Amino acid sequence: MLKHGEFLFTSESVSEGHPDKVADRISDTVLDAYLGADPEARVACETLVTTNRVVLAGEVRGPASVTSEGLIELTREAIRDIGYDQAGFSWKNAEISNYLHAQSADIAVGVDSAGEKDEGAGDQGIMFGFATNETDTFMPAPLYYSHSILKTMRDLRRAGDKRAFGLQPDAKSQVTLRYVDGKPVGATSVVISTQHDEGMNQKQLRDELRTIVADVLPKGWLPPEDEFYVNPTGIFVIGGPDGDAGLTGRKIIVDTYGGAAPHGGGAFSGKDPTKVDRSAAYACRYLAKNVVAAGLADRCTLQISYAIGVSHPLSVYVDLDGTGKDIDEAKLGRVLREVMNLSPRGIRQHLRLNRPIYAETSAYGHFGRTPDEARDTFPWERIDLVDALRGAFNR
């Protein structure tokens, strides 16, 4: 967790066109296809992408209406939506192989409910959630701005805006912020590496990106010119899966808190919500965000642990990092278990996770996103427990 006082802290983000994010997008597209056909489907999909090749692998249990041909077509549509129609990676002619197979019967026995037995966790593990009041999204500022730079580049590229002239889908950003008294006050460096059209003038590219960064960062936060780095290696023409292989689940710090909080180690994409790697991490973020939104603390870190096949969490740990407003952390842990059923089934029902809502989580972070009320996306970002938490502490 971030310390108090004065220091520098850095987080990075990667775009939807980064090879690992392409893999995450495809895995979550497969998941959405199954959940759209059957909310109780089981999916653990891993994807490999490389030069004009995509490989799907993993375990599934779902209706026969979800066919291999259909998944391959959805994969092409996902690649097309990201923006890849390049010689080395194109939605039109990439070779797509599907090796998904039936879920292990041994896992199903442990996870499924039967008789008096409630549904168990899909695996053992520890999951963390985090929230801080240093941004309006309750996310760490370095990661928030790293994501925002790349999302702005994506939006401008898709809109054909001149400020994104020549940009291609693959990109990375890195933002270093200076903190004083535990609060961010400005950027000391910004790094952007972005794939671009061949022959593009690097000065023009730098000028375009400087304008974008200036619009994203608060006024006066731009770093010195010699600490603004664009494509430090020179050119970046060959990118995406053609330049580097991508795998599902290799960007877990980008997906969560940018290194500002612990991580249990489990990836999210491609996993249905019986897998507590995903659903319990969402629940931890939801609870931590509500604690901070309720004004009980400036920062909150939450850890929950599970055992495969066991329906209740083995532990709930709360750390307010010394920022609690006269709050007993042990009591808070008990209160959190009261305001939300933290069994795998309870989490899924409370957050309504058995729906095809996951493809759009696959890039620019799973947390700090704005829920779409009409489609009920990112429900773990709601702050509807604030009143209950305040009431528990007579606030």
pLDDT per residue as tens digits for the range 198-256? 999 999 999 999 999 999 999 999 999 999 999 998 889 999 999 999 999 999 999 99
Alpha helices (H) along the chain: 19-37, 68-82, 105-111, 141-159, 202-216, 240-243, 252-255, 276-293, 329-339, 344-351, 386-392
Judge whether 171 is annotated as a binding position. yes
Catalytic one among 9, 12, 21, 196? 21
The widest CA-to-CA distance across the chain, in whole angstroms, is: 67
Q: Read off the pLDDT of each residue in 277-300 and give the average, rounded to a whole number.
A: 97
| Cα-Cα-Cα-Cα dihedral sign, residues 122, 258, 323, 325 | negative
The average confidence (pLDDT) of the chain is 94
* pLDDT score for 192: 98
Q: Read off the pLDDT of each residue in 150-158 and give the average, rounded to a whole number.
A: 97
Judge whether 271 is annotated as a binding position. yes
Judge whether 376 is annotated as a binding position. no
Catalytic one among 277, 298, 319, 381? 277
Judge whether 285 is annotated as a binding position. no
* pLDDT score for 346: 95
- 138 versus 394: the higher-pLDDT residue is 138
Catalytic residue check, 203: no
Judge whether 293 is annotated as a binding position. no
Cβ neighbourhood burial of 160 (10 Å; 0-12, 13-18, 19+): exposed
Q: Please tell me the distance from the alpha carbon of residue 173 to that of residue 12, in angstroms, as a whole number.
A: 6
- 2 versus 259: the higher-pLDDT residue is 259
Judge whether 244 is annotated as a binding position. yes
Catalytic residue check, 18: yes
pLDDT per residue as tens digits for the range 259-273? 999 999 999 999 999
Q: Read off the pLDDT of each residue in 85-93 and give the average, rounded to a whole number.
A: 97
Q: Where in the chain is the domain with CATH 3.30.300.10?
A: 7-13+141-239, 19-107, 125-133+251-392
Judge whether 325 is annotated as a binding position. no
Judge whether 20 is annotated as a binding position. yes
Judge whether 251 is annotated as a binding position. yes
Catalytic one among 25, 42, 61, 172? 172
Q: Read off the pLDDT of each residue in 33-52 and give the average, rounded to a whole number.
A: 97
Catalytic residue check, 245: yes
Question: In CATH terms, is domain 19-107 a member of 3.90.400.10?
Answer: no
DSSP assignment string, 259-316:
TSS---S---TTB-TTSHHHHHHHHHHHHHHHHHHTTSBSEEEEEEEE-BT-SS-SEE
Catalytic one among 236, 268, 367, 378? 236
Please state the pTM of the whole predicted model. Answer: 0.94
Q: Read off the pLDDT of each residue in 348-352 and give the average, rounded to a whole number.
A: 97
For the segment(s) 7-13+141-239, the CATH number from 3.40.50.300, 3.30.300.10, 1.20.1300.10, 3.40.630.30 is: 3.30.300.10
Catalytic one among 38, 118, 244, 360? 244
Backbone φ, ψ for residue 275 (5° rounding)? -80, 110
Sheet holding 95-102, edge to edge: 95-102, 53-61, 42-50, 246-247
Q: Looking at the chain, how many residues does it have? A: 395
Cα–Cα separations (whole angstroms), residue 342 to 10, 121, 138, 226: 32, 11, 22, 49
Catalytic residue check, 119: no
Q: Read off the pLDDT of each residue in 316-338 and give the average, rounded to a whole number.
A: 95
Q: How confident is the model at residue 374 (pLDDT cuts 50, 70, 90)?
A: confident
| Residues 54, 59, 61: CA angle, nearest 5 degrees | 120
Catalytic one among 250, 289, 350, 366? 250
Catalytic residue check, 94: no
Query: Residue 381, SS3?
Result: helix
* pLDDT score for 118: 59
pLDDT per residue as tens digits for the range 355-364? 999 999 999 9
Catalytic residue check, 85: no
For the segment(s) 125-133+251-392, the CATH number from 3.40.50.2300, 1.10.357.10, 3.40.50.300, 3.30.300.10 is: 3.30.300.10
Judge whether 118 is annotated as a binding position. no
Query: Residue 126, SS3?
Result: strand
Catalytic residue check, 326: no
Judge whether 250 is annotated as a binding position. yes
Catalytic residue check, 172: yes
- 59 versus 311: the higher-pLDDT residue is 59
Residue with tokens 């850890």: 303
Q: How confident is the model at residue 348 (pLDDT cuts 50, 70, 90)?
A: very high
* pLDDT score for 11: 98
In the beta sheet, which residues pair with residue 14? 172
Catalytic residue check, 20: yes
Catalytic residue check, 136: no
Catalytic one among 251, 278, 350, 366? 251
In the beta sheet, which residues pair with residue 222? none
pLDDT per residue as tens digits for the range 99-152? 999 986 555 555 655 544 457 777 789 999 999 999 999 999 999 999 999 999
Catalytic one among 37, 245, 307, 388? 245
Q: Read off the pLDDT of each residue in 294-323 and give the average, rounded to a whole number.
A: 95
Structure tokens at 125: 């593990």
Judge whether 255 is annotated as a binding position. no
Q: Please tell me the distance from the alpha carbon of residue 393 to that of residue 223, in angstroms, as a whole number.
A: 42
Which has the closest alpha carbon to 135: 336, 303, 365? 365
Catalytic one among 59, 81, 118, 161? 59
What is the C-alpha R_g of the chain? 21
